[in-house]
């Protein structure tokens, strides 16, 4: 242990790396299997392998590290498993962008060379995020790190695919999918961003086959798709159309007869009540088409150009085709009108291109739904509905269940080259599909060597959906899997509840028969100080590494988790960071004071357990510590990290520093009675341990210094990281000490308030008389504290019957059961003070009136930014408090 003097200021940069390396070298991060003890496991959400640390990651890791440090210190075998995701589309897109700037493309390179190029990119930039995460001081088990493309997780992916295929839960089918023509891949519903855009509603006339002068008018936002229409749908009870259901209309331009069908899904109120049906290019039309046996064929191809089915428009780009089709319809007299129309259009989340729904041959997982209890989605629904998995905060439980109630089959194939390739081989001789975990030598059916693997890869979420069990070794029955699975908590942002959390629940239950985790804990998103979403385009992002350089890791972590409540978004700005740094400095300075006082002292024996404490102040601070210990453990159990932190902050700053240390200084000076040093040390040492999960570095540094000055007692361990987390197994509540010291603190505060209201200089001593009313002992024993901390001299301690009734005019303070009289005549000009206070009260009331009117003005409430409204409310609150104080002091002056 180091016994060097603590420097006068805490310098995070000098401390953090040294401590982190020591923790790692000692193996504290590595989880050990301890049979008979239930482990605590968090699988870290795997970031994109080439990603960089942003503030959202920092929040997530600060929360998870606090939880695992708390459990680990509580003696629970704890595993926090880190990893990275290959992030199929994101990584491929990043490399493609680079190739494009070099004037080449993946197609020029060919598949093998391209995949090798991506691997090079990953080797070069991969894992940077973990190097960055280390600076956050996170205690992850790096030896168990996994990458989604590692052999283990890859085998898990193939095994899952093969199992599902054999159970008929994976199928290949023509389906309408979201297609990005730029990325040339299918997108899941979740990868499509919908934005409202200003467009047009085109009203088209389709002539009836048997009465060419009569028309049915359909409305569409995408007139070019009419080339692929295979029907017109109306509501079966719509009187306008009931006579033509079953007849044909002739599709203009294409001159193709298509049927009019009656379908209950048609909204009679929308447009003309007649819907053109293009099954290949609209998901709703696709379903109508399936119900009525209408053909589905693409008129827009994978490249965004019209196909041969588009007739004379073959090869024309889709937006250009729109203009040409509208022009021709106009010339033919089939265009009734064009209206302005704002509507929602899907865009590729990755590249922002307009998504093209089209029909293609894809692989799907049949998920079923809550109405089929044995289906994949049915079991995932029940796991949460029945409470096998708890969702924190509770409101997201309903969100999850609603989503599963409306779930569709999952399209898992992606037309990418980077990722887990689909383990299906097609036979050229007999068309049989060989589906196996290991690469086959030939066709399973006819033995032909002419087999070719499916060109597509699996959706990234297919592999991350297996993460909690694939990282622990599944499908092998490893010791880790047996011991650490199911995991305890899955902690992530609420924005990936569906993307990821729901899929882990589905796949976890499917593969292992057990839920993947017992609790889902969702944190909120970080916004800037004004409440706006942080984004690079807005320019309001903050780089966590720069913040660490500027404020230190502990301050950044403390700032991030201050005031966090599960699921609530967080406003983050410099003021939080400054407050957190001030707190870190307070912890350092107060500790330094205490530790320097211990130097060379004797009589510290017993500091660890304090077997007998007699002094009221010692009993009080130990009782307060005990209460805070209970509360912090409770808050952590409830995932209320913000509350836990706030309680520790208040306890350390107010109770320990502002009161107890000040009281102890007086005792140290007078050297009467029992020394406060053992208690000072005891409370500091425990508070450091309580704080450690939130501020790992500074607490370790101070703790090492503190312990080097103390006799070795208690659990003799070499790091705070492996010291026991304080709990309240042996309660040390002391109601009378809390009541008596509480009363003395209130009395001192009352005198201090009066002094500041009346602007009495800090150095000036006031005479005071305290009427004790049954509290003589505590007041007499704490008289020195009262004298020193409220700067009164002389202090007369009196009973009701012995008080001096003829005290000069002054202020009387009632602090139940005490009555404190401060004679002020000759000290301050009481009548002048009264005049001044009355005019201050007048101003205060005027201001209150103004702000009250403002915040009840509907016009203001509507137009002002929320943060401005909030500021005004806070101002009103302040004025109100000020007003009460002024009334009080004026009343006291009058009395
Ligand atoms: Zn795209
Ligand atoms: Zn074959």
CA of 185 to the centre of ligand 2 (A): 28
Structure tokens at 68: 């695992």
**Nearest ligand by distance to the CA of 427:** 2
pLDDT of amino acid 125 = 87
CA of 55 to the centre of ligand 2 (A): 53
Distance CA 389, CA 517 (A): 7
Q: What is the SS3 assignment for 310?
A: helix
What single string gives the DSSP state of each residue in 91-134?
HHHHHHHHHHHTT--HHHH-HHHHHHHHHHHHHHHTTHHHHHHH
Contacts of 84 by beta carbon, 8 Å cutoff, 6+ apart: 46, 47, 48, 49, 126, 127, 129, 130, 145, 146, 147, 148
Structure tokens at 23: 């923790």
Q: Residue 716 pLDDT > 90, yes or no?
A: no
pLDDT tens profile 634-655: 999 999 999 999 999 999 999 9
Q: Residue 350 pLDDT > 60, yes or no?
A: yes
Mean pLDDT of 338-352: 90
CA of 429 to the centre of ligand 2 (A): 5
Distance CA 150, CA 154 (A): 6
Mean pLDDT of 241-253: 93
CA of 411 to the centre of ligand 1 (A): 16
Question: Quick one: what percent of the chain has pLDDT higher than 70?
Answer: 99
**Nearest ligand by distance to the CA of 430:** 2
User: Cβ distance 78 to 71 under 8 Å?
Assistant: yes
pLDDT of amino acid 566 = 84
CA of 283 to the centre of ligand 1 (A): 19
Paired residues of 170 in beta bridges: 365
Q: Residue 661 pLDDT > 90, yes or no?
A: yes
CA of 442 to the centre of ligand 2 (A): 8
Distance CA 588, CA 791 (A): 28
CA of 408 to the centre of ligand 1 (A): 22
**Nearest ligand by distance to the CA of 452:** 2
CA of 456 to the centre of ligand 1 (A): 16
pLDDT tens profile 381-392: 999 999 999 999
Structure tokens at 525: 């998103």
pLDDT of amino acid 550 = 95
**Nearest ligand by distance to the CA of 350:** 1
pLDDT tens profile 548-605: 999 999 999 999 998 888 888 888 888 999 999 999 999 999 999 999 999 877 788 8
pLDDT tens profile 689-711: 999 999 999 999 999 999 999 99
CA of 462 to the centre of ligand 2 (A): 28
Residue of 188, 103, 121 whose CA lies nearest to 363: 188
CA of 449 to the centre of ligand 2 (A): 8
pLDDT tens profile 274-313: 999 999 999 889 989 988 989 999 999 989 999 999 999 9
CA of 277 to the centre of ligand 2 (A): 39
Residue of 498, 466, 493, 495 whose CA lies nearest to 400: 498
CA of 451 to the centre of ligand 2 (A): 8
- Total number of residues shown for the chain: 895
The DSSP 8-state label assigned to residue 432 in this structure reads P
Which three-class secondary structure string do you get for 346-398? EEECCCCCECEEEEEEEEEECCCCCCCCCCHHHHHHHHHHCCCCEEECCHHHH
CA of 448 to the centre of ligand 2 (A): 5
Distance CA 30, CA 763 (A): 57
**Nearest ligand by distance to the CA of 429:** 2
CA of 354 to the centre of ligand 1 (A): 8
> Sorting pLDDT into bands at 50, 70 and 90, what band is 2?
very low
CA of 347 to the centre of ligand 1 (A): 8
pLDDT of amino acid 829 = 83
CA of 430 to the centre of ligand 2 (A): 4
Paired residues of 300 in beta bridges: 306
CA of 452 to the centre of ligand 2 (A): 11
pLDDT of amino acid 4 = 58
Which three-class secondary structure string do you get for 166-196? HCCCEEEEEEEEEEECCCCEEECHHHEEEEE
**Nearest ligand by distance to the CA of 442:** 2
CA of 192 to the centre of ligand 1 (A): 9
Q: Residue 162 pLDDT > 70, yes or no?
A: yes
For 768, half-sphere exposure in the C-beta direction (CA atoms, 13 angstrom radius) is 29
CA of 454 to the centre of ligand 2 (A): 15
Bridge-based pairing state of the strands 170-180 and 256-262: unpaired
Q: Residue 437 pLDDT > 50, yes or no?
A: yes
State the residue for tokens 């929320």: 866
User: Cβ distance 554 to 698 under 8 Å?
Assistant: yes
CA of 167 to the centre of ligand 2 (A): 21
What single string gives the DSSP state of each residue in 761-800?
-TT--EEEEEE-TT-HHHHHHTHHHHHHHHTEEEEEEE-G
Q: Residue 145 pLDDT > 80, yes or no?
A: yes
**Nearest ligand by distance to the CA of 182:** 1
CA of 436 to the centre of ligand 2 (A): 14
CA of 557 to the centre of ligand 1 (A): 36
**Nearest ligand by distance to the CA of 97:** 1
CA of 149 to the centre of ligand 2 (A): 29
CA of 506 to the centre of ligand 1 (A): 27
> Sorting pLDDT into bands at 50, 70 and 90, what band is 834?
confident
**Nearest ligand by distance to the CA of 93:** 1
User: Cβ distance 392 to 639 under 8 Å?
Assistant: yes
Neighbours of ion ligand 2 (CB under 5 A): 427, 429-430, 432, 443, 445-446, 448
Q: Is the dihedral of CA 690, 695, 698, 700 positive or negative?
A: positive
Q: Residue 659 pLDDT > 60, yes or no?
A: yes
CA of 153 to the centre of ligand 2 (A): 29
CA of 426 to the centre of ligand 2 (A): 8
pLDDT tens profile 69-99: 999 999 999 999 999 999 888 898 889 889 9
CA of 164 to the centre of ligand 2 (A): 22
pLDDT tens profile 510-548: 999 999 999 999 998 899 888 888 887 788 889 999 999
Residue of 250, 249, 254 whose CA lies nearest to 234: 249
For 582, half-sphere exposure in the C-beta direction (CA atoms, 13 angstrom radius) is 8
Q: What is the SS3 assignment for 480?
A: helix
Mean pLDDT of 198-210: 94
pLDDT of amino acid 895 = 60
The mean pLDDT of the chain is 92
Mean pLDDT of 433-460: 95
């Amino acid at each position: 242990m180091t016994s060097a003097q603590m420097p006068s200021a805490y310098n995070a940069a000098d401390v953090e790396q040294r401590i982190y390396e020591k923790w790692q070298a000692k193996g504290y991060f590595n989880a050990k299997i301890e049979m008979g003890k239930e482990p605590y496991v968090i699988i870290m959400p795997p970031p994109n392998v080439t990603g960089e640390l942003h503030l959202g990651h920092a929040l997530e890791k600060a929360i998870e590290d606090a939880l695992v440090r708390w459990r680990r210190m509580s003696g629970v075998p704890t595993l926090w498993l880190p990893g990275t995701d290959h992030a199929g589309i994101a990584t491929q897109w990043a490399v493609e962008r680079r190739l494009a700037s070099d004037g080449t493309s993946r197609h020029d390179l060919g598949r093998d060379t391209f995949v090798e190029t991506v691997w090079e990119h990953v080797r070069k930039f991969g894992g940077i995020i973990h190097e960055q995460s280390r600076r956050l001081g996170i205690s992850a088990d790096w030896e168990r790190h996994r990458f989604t493309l590692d052999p283990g997780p890859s085998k898990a992916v193939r095994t899952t695919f093969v199992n599902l295929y054999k159970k008929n839960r994976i199928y290949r089918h023509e389906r309408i999918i979201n297609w990005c023509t730029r990325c040339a891949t299918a997108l899941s519903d979740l990868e499509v961003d919908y934005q409202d855009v200003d467009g047009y509603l085109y009203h088209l006339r389709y002539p009836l086959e048997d009465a060419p002068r009569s028309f049915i008018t359909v409305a569409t936002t995408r007139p070019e798709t009419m080339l692929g229409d295979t029907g017109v749908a109306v509501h079966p009870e719509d009187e306008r159309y009931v006579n033509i259901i079953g007849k044909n209309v002739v599709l203009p331009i294409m001159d193709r007869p298509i049927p009019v069908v009656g379908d209950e899904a048609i909204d009679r109120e929308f447009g003309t009540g007649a819907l053109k049906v293009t099954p290949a290019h609209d998901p709703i039309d696709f379903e109508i088409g399936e119900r009525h046996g209408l053909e589905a064929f693409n008129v827009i191809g994978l490249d965004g150009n019209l196909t041969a089915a588009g007739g004379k428009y073959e090869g024309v780009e889709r937006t250009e085709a729109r203009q040409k089709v509208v022009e021709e319809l106009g010339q033919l007299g089939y265009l009734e009108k064009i209206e302005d129309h704002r509507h929602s259009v899907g865009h590729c989340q990755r590249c922002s291109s307009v998504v093209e729904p089209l029909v293609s041959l894809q692989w799907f997982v049949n998920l079923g739904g809550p109405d089929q209890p044995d289906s994949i989605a049915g079991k995932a629904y029940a796991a949460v509905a029945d409470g096998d998995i708890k969702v924190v905060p509770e409101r997201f439980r309903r969100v999850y269940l609603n989503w599963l109630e409306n779930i569709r089959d999952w399209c898992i194939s992606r037309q990418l080259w980077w990722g887990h390739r689909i383990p299906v081989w097609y036979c050229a001789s007999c068309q049989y599909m060989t589906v196996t975990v290991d690469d086959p030598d030939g066709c399973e059916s006819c033995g032909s060597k002419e087999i070719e693997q499916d060109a597509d890869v699996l959706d990234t979420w297919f592999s991350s959906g297996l993460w909690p069990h694939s990282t622990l070794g599944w499908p092998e029955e490893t010791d880790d899997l047996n011991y650490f699975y199911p995991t305890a908590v899955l902690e992530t942002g609420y924005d990936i509840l569906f993307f990821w959390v729901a899929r882990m629940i589905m796949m976890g239950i499917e593969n292992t028969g057990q839920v993947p985790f017992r609790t889902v804990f969702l944190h909120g998103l970080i916004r800037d100080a004004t409440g706006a979403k942080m984004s690079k385009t807005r320019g309001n992002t903050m780089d966590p590494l720069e913040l660490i350089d500027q404020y230190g890791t502990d301050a950044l972590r403390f700032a991030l988790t201050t005031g966090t409540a599960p699921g609530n978004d967080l406003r983050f700005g410099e003021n939080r960071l400054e407050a957190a740094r001030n707190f870190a400095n307070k912890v350092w300075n107060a500790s330094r004071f205490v530790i320097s006082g211990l130097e060379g002292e004797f009589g510290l024996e017993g500091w660890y357990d304090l077997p007998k404490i007699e002094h009221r102040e010692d009993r009080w601070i130990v009782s307060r510590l005990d209460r805070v210990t209970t509360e912090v453990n409770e808050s952590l159990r409830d995932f209320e990290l913000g509350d836990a932190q706030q309680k520790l902050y208040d306890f350390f700053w107010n109770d320990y520093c502002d009161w107890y240390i000040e009281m102890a200084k007086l005792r140290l000076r007078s050297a009467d009675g029992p020394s406060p040093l053992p208690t000072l040390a005891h409370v500091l040492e425990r508070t450091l341990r309580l704080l450690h999960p939130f501020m790992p570095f500074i607490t370790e540094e101070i703790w090492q210094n503190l312990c080097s000055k103390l006799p070795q007692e208690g659990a003799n361990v070499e790091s705070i990281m492996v010291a026991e987390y304080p709990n309240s197994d042996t309660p040390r509540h002391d109601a009378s000490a809390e009541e008596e010291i509480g009363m003395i603190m209130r009395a001192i505060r009352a005198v201090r308030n009066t002094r500041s209201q009346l602007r009495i200089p800090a150095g000036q001593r006031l005479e005071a008389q305290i009427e004790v009313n049954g509290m003589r002992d505590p007041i007499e024993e704490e008289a020195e504290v009262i004298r020193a901390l409220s700067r009164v001299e002389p202090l007369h301690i009196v009973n009701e019957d012995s008080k001096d009734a003829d005290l000069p005019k002054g202020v009387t303070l009632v602090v139940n059961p005490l009555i404190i009289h401060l004679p002020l005549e000759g000290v301050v000009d009481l009548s002048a003070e009264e005049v001044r206070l009355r005019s201050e009260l007048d101003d205060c009331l005027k201001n209150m009136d103004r702000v009250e009117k403002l915040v009840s003005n509907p016009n203001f409430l509507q137009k002002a930014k929320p943060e401005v409204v909030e500021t005004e409310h806070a101002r009103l609150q302040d004025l109100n408090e000020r007003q009460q104080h002024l009334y009080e002091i004026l009343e006291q002056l009058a009395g």
